[in-house]
Amino acid sequence: MIKPLGQRVLVERVEAETKTAGGLFLPDTAKEKPQEAIVRAIGTGGRDKDGKEIPFNVAVNDKVLITKYGGTEVTVNGITYTILNESDILAIID
């Protein structure tokens, strides 16, 4: 598994729907990059200017909403992950 460093988070994007509400199937070229993801690992953390540890706002297995084109994609054992800064996470989905 990949262990991110600093205030970075490793996420796995949730696959977008391939069918519309009306029952039409979307071709790969019409699909948008999914913004929902599952947190798979969190980094080693960071420190503020006073040396205090900055806590993470997300935890492993949280379902989150991320920026559409942020982060760096990596593939490990056939699974594509995205490494991004915690600040690229927009919300936690309940």
Domains of the chain with bracketed CATH: 8-15+24-93 (2.30.33.40)
Q: What is the pLDDT of residue 93?
A: 95
The contacts of residue 10 (CB under 8 Å, 6+ apart) are 2, 3, 4, 39, 40, 41, 42, 81, 82, 83
pLDDT tens-digit profile of 27-82? Answer: 655 556 678 999 999 999 988 899 999 999 999 999 999 998 889 999 999 999 99
CB distance 9 to 3 below 8 Å? no
Q: Give the model's pLDDT for residue 32.
A: 62
Q: Check residue 18 and give its pLDDT.
A: 62
> Using CA of residue 16, residue 63, residue 60, residue 68, what is the dihedral sign?
positive
Give the whole-angstrom CA distance, residue 81 versus residue 50.
33
